Structure 1
Amino acid sequence: MATALDGLKVLDLSRVLAGPWATQTLADLGADVVKVERPGAGDDTRAWGPPWLKDADGRDTTDAAYFCCANRNKRSIAIDIATPEGQALVRRLAGEADVLVENFKVGGLRAYGLDFDSLHALNPRLVYCSITGFGQTGPYAPRAGYDFLIQGMGGLMSVTGRGDAEEGAGPQKVGVALTDVMTGLHAAIGILAALRHRDRTGEGQHLDLALLDVQVAALANQTANHLIGGVIPKRMGNAHPNIVPYQDFPTADGDMILAIGNDGQFARFCEVAGHAEWASDARFATNAARVAHRAVLIPLLRQATVMRTTREWIAALESRAVPCGPVNRLDEVFADPQVIARGLRIALPHPVAGSVPGVASPIRLSATPPVYRSAPPVLGQDGAAVLADWLGEPLPD
C-alpha cells in the first residue's frame, strides 16, 4: 500500500520516548526509520521493566513493554558511536538520510563529528532534529531534562492535582510522560515542515526542540488566562477554570464525567436530573454565572448524580445530547465498542514473542493511511539489511 512518506530515510539516534515517538510517527506514515542503538544494551527503555515482552513459550525476554510503545515499524542496527569506526559508519548513513533525530545533551555529538554542522557539510539536504530538555540556547541548555522535571518546571504540575484546600492537595504529575509525547509530536510536525522547505530549496536545516518550550506552549488556555487575565491558575482537581459543570461527579455505583460546554446542554441536563429550575436560576443560567457560583452549584449537582448509576445517567444524557461518559480503566477502554470499531488495538508479528500488541496511530488518512509493517525490533536485528539497502553493501551469505 502506498504511504505518505514512501522513500523517506530517517536515521534515529534518539532514545527513551520523545525522539522515538517522533520517529515512530514518521515510520507509521511510511518512512524507513533506522534506529541506531548501543551494542549489547540498546535503547534505555529496553530495560525499563517489568512488565517484559514474553517469548513464544511465555518466558520474559530482555525487552520491556515500555520499549514496545514507541519503536514499531523501525529497523535496528547496533553501532558503537564512541569508536572511530562507529562514527564513520553513522556518517555514511547520515550521508544517505533525509532526516536525523537525536536527543543527546547539547554539544554531545560534536566530539564524534555527528553534530549538525559536521553532517550538514556532508549532506546539505539533511533535516537534523535535536531534542533536549531546555534547547540549544539559554542558561539551562547544558542541563539534562526529563519529563517529570519539566512537568514541574513548565507549570503543568501547578495546575494538576487537588485544590489547596482539599485533603491530599499538592503538585501532581500526569499519569504518562505527556511532555515527552507532545515533544515527539511537535518534532514530527517540525520535521515535515523542514522537509517541505528542503523540497523547495534543496537545503536542510536544524530543528531545536525543547521539552520546556513544548510544556509551556501546551498549557493553552491556562497560559492565556495568566497572560491576558492576569491570574495565576491553581490546582482545581478535575474541575475546569473556565467551564462549569465540567468535571467528575459521583453516581450510585461509581463516577461519571460531565463535560457541559454551553447553556443549552446545561438546561437539558437539568431537565434529565429533574431540576429544570436550575437552568432559569440567575446564578446558574449562563456559564459565567455558573463559574461565579461554582461553590453553590456543584454540591447540588452531586446530590442529584448519586441517585442513578453511571450506566443510567449515560443512557439518559446521551439521548439528550449532553456530553458525558464513564471513567474507564484500561481494560474497559479496550473493551469499549467505539475503541473496537476504530481498530485501536493492533498486533504485529515478532521473531521472539510471536506477536506484540500495540495501539494504532490516531492519524487517519483516506489515501495514504498508516501501515503497520513490523513490531519493535530485536536489538541489532536489521544491521546487514540496512547496510545493503542504504549503502549498497552485500548481504552476508
Structure 2
Amino acid sequence: MAQTTDTASSLPKALGHIRVLDLSRVLAGPWCSQNLADLGADVIKIERPGGGDDTRAWGPPYAKDADGNDTTEAAYYLAANRGKRSVTVDIASVEGQALVRELAAHADVVLENFKVGHLKRYGLDYDTLKAIKPDLVYCSVTGFGQDGPYAHRAGYDFLIQGMGGFMSITGERDDLPGGGPQKAGVAITDLMTGMYATVAVLAALTHRDRTGVGQYIDMALLDVQVAMLANMASNYHTSGKPPARWGNAHANIVPYQTFACLDGHIIVATGNDGQYQKFVEAGGCADLATDPRFATNPLRVRNRFVLVPLLEQMVKRRTKGEWIASLEALGVPCGPINDIGEVFANPQVSARGIAIDMPHPSAGKVTLVRSPMKLSGTPVSNEKAPPLLGQHTDEVLREVLGRSDGDIAALRAKGVL
C-alpha cells in the first residue's frame, strides 16, 4: 500500500537554499532536477506555453480523476517531475528570453538539454548568463557533448544504448533462441545521465560555496553510457576482446544467473566458493562442490558450459518456493523474478514506503515512487506533486521577480506566458 506524503515538512532541507531554473525536458534533465527538488531545492520548470514538456503527451496511461476519467497528466511525465513549479514562457520571443534571463539572475543552477548552440541565439547560453550572475552553475545535457565530430547530432537514449556498447552485452547469447542485442526495459542512459548530472551539480555548488566561483557542466549521454560499462569496459581493456552477451548469466561469476524450477524461475547469485558449495549441497549434488573442474570460480567460469546444464537439471527438481526457502536458510543469495505488480506488493518494498500518494490538483491524488535517498537530518521532500502546465507561472513571477498582476496579464495577452 502506498504511503501518504511525508509529515517532515518542518525539518530542514539539504538544498533548501538552492534555486534551480530548469529548461530541460523529457527524461535525463528532468531526472536530475527531480533529484534536486527531492533534496529541497526550489525547481522552476520552464515550459512551452500550450504544450509544455513533450512527455506530458506520452500516454496512455494518464492519471485518472475521482470519476476514473483520464486527466491530461501522462504517467511518463509524472515519473520525473515531482517537487517542481511549472512556469510557461515562450523562449522564442524576445520578451520571453528577457524573462528567463531575469529568472536566471535569481537562480543558483540552470539546467538545459537543448541542441549544442541552440540557446546562444536566444541569449540563454552560459556565457551570457554568467555575465549576469558570475557564480552561476550551468549544466548542459546533450547526446554527444559540446565538442567532437558528433556534437551537433541529436542523441536519444535508445540510439546511445546501441552506440555506447550497452546492447552488445545485453540480451540472450546469439547461439540461443531469442539471442541478439537488447535494450534495457527503462531508458537507462537517460536515467544515469540524470544521476551523474545531479552529482556534478552538487559538486559545482560545493565548489561555489567555498570559492564564490560558478562553472559550466558538459554532460553527454554517450559519455555516461561508456562510463557505465563498468567491469565490461575493464574486461575489454584487460583482455583486448569485446565482451559478449550472456543473457541472464554473468561474464565473470558462475553460477550467477536465472534457473528454471518446476513452477517458474529463480535467480541464484553465488558470489563466492562457499555459497556455491552450499547451493549444490542443498540440491543434493555435493559431488559438484568437490569436482576439481568446479572447485573455484575461475574454474567454474572456464567450465561453465559443462557445469550449467548439470545445475539446470538439479534446480528443475523443485519449486521456486522450496528453493528460495532452502537457500535463504543457508545464506545463499537467491530470489524470484517479480513483475512490477509483485514488486509493489512485496513486504519489504511496502515496509520501506517506496510508493507514496501525493495530492494532485486534477487527479485528486497520484501514486508515485519516492526518492530512494533517506537522510536522517534533512529528509527528502514529498510535498509537491508534478505540476500542471503553467500552474505556478503567476506565483513565481510575483514572488521571484516582483511582477504585478497587471504585468503578468500583459505578458499573457502577448502570448509570452
TM-score, normalized by length of structure 2? 0.94
Work out the CA distance in 1 between the residues paired with 2:20 and 2:317. 56
Count how many residue pairs are aligned between Structure 1 and Structure 2: 397
Contact 1:385-1:395 at 8 Å conserved across structures: no
CA deviations on 1:120-158 (whole Å, 9 max, x unpaired) are: 011111100000000001000000000000000000000
2:395 is the alignment partner of 1:382: no
What does 1:32-71 align with in structure 2 at a 5 Å threshold?
32-71=42-81
Work out the CA distance in 2 between the residues paired with 1:234 and 1:255. 23
CA deviations on 1:86-109 (whole Å, 9 max, x unpaired) are: 000000000000001000000000
Work out the CA distance in 2 between the residues paired with 1:5 and 1:320. 44
Please state how far the C-alpha of 1:56 moved relative to its aligned partner: 2.2
SS of match in other structure, 1:322: coil
1:139 — aligned with what?
149
- Give the ranges of 4+ consecutive aligned residues of structure 1 lying more than 3 Å apart after TM superposition: 394-397
1:330 — aligned with what?
340
Work out the CA distance in 2 between the residues paired with 1:341 and 1:299. 38
Work out the CA distance in 2 between the residues paired with 1:248 and 1:72. 35
1:55 corresponds to which letter in structure 2?
D
| % identical aligned pairs | 62
2:101 — aligned with what?
91
1:81 corresponds to which letter in structure 2?
I
Please state how far the C-alpha of 1:366 moved relative to its aligned partner: 1.6
Please state how far the C-alpha of 1:278 moved relative to its aligned partner: 0.9
1:302 corresponds to which letter in structure 2?
E
Residue segments in structure 1 that go unaligned for 5+ positions in a row: none
2:124 is the alignment partner of 1:101: no
Please state how far the C-alpha of 1:364 moved relative to its aligned partner: 1.3
Work out the CA distance in 1 between the residues paired with 2:333 and 2:239. 28
- Which of 12, 21, 26 is the equivalent residue of 1:11? 21
1:98 corresponds to which letter in structure 2?
D
1:86 corresponds to which letter in structure 2?
G
1:293 — aligned with what?
303
Work out the CA distance in 1 between the residues paired with 2:405 and 2:276. 67
2:224 — aligned with what?
214
2:413 — aligned with what?
none
2:192 corresponds to which letter in structure 1?
M
1:191 — aligned with what?
201
2:400 is the alignment partner of 1:351: no
Please state how far the C-alpha of 1:80 moved relative to its aligned partner: 0.3
1:391 — aligned with what?
401
2:234 — aligned with what?
224
RMSD: 1.1
Work out the CA distance in 1 between the residues paired with 2:280 and 2:315. 11
Work out the CA distance in 2 between the residues paired with 1:168 and 1:314. 27
SS of match in other structure, 2:22: strand
1:22 corresponds to which letter in structure 2?
C
Please state how far the C-alpha of 1:245 moved relative to its aligned partner: 0.3
2:179 is the alignment partner of 1:169: yes
2:179 is the alignment partner of 1:179: no
1:205 — aligned with what?
215
Residue segments in structure 2 that go unaligned for 5+ positions in a row: 1-10, 410-417
Work out the CA distance in 1 between the residues paired with 2:73 and 2:363. 10
Instruction: Provide closer, same or farther for how the CA distance between residues 173 and 64 of structure 1 changes in structure 2, counting only shifts above 3 A.
Output: same
Contact 1:5-1:31 at 8 Å conserved across structures: yes
2:87 — aligned with what?
77
SS of match in other structure, 2:90: coil
1:154 — aligned with what?
164
1:263 corresponds to which letter in structure 2?
D
- Which of 260, 263, 272 is the equivalent residue of 1:262? 272
Structure ranking higher on relative contact order (CA contacts 8 Å, 6+ apart): 2
2:322 — aligned with what?
312
CA deviations on 1:255-310 (whole Å, 9 max, x unpaired) are: 00011100000011111111111111111110000000100111111111111111
SS of match in other structure, 1:111: helix
Please state how far the C-alpha of 1:390 moved relative to its aligned partner: 1.5
Work out the CA distance in 1 between the residues paired with 2:270 and 2:195. 29
CA deviations on 1:200-247 (whole Å, 9 max, x unpaired) are: 111111100000000000000000000112221011111110000001
SS of match in other structure, 1:216: helix
Work out the CA distance in 1 between the residues paired with 2:86 and 2:154. 25
TM-score, normalized by length of structure 1? 0.99
Please state how far the C-alpha of 1:395 moved relative to its aligned partner: 5.7
SS of match in other structure, 1:319: helix
Please state how far the C-alpha of 1:71 moved relative to its aligned partner: 0.1
SS of match in other structure, 1:166: coil
SS of match in other structure, 2:367: strand
1:240 — aligned with what?
250
SS of match in other structure, 1:301: helix
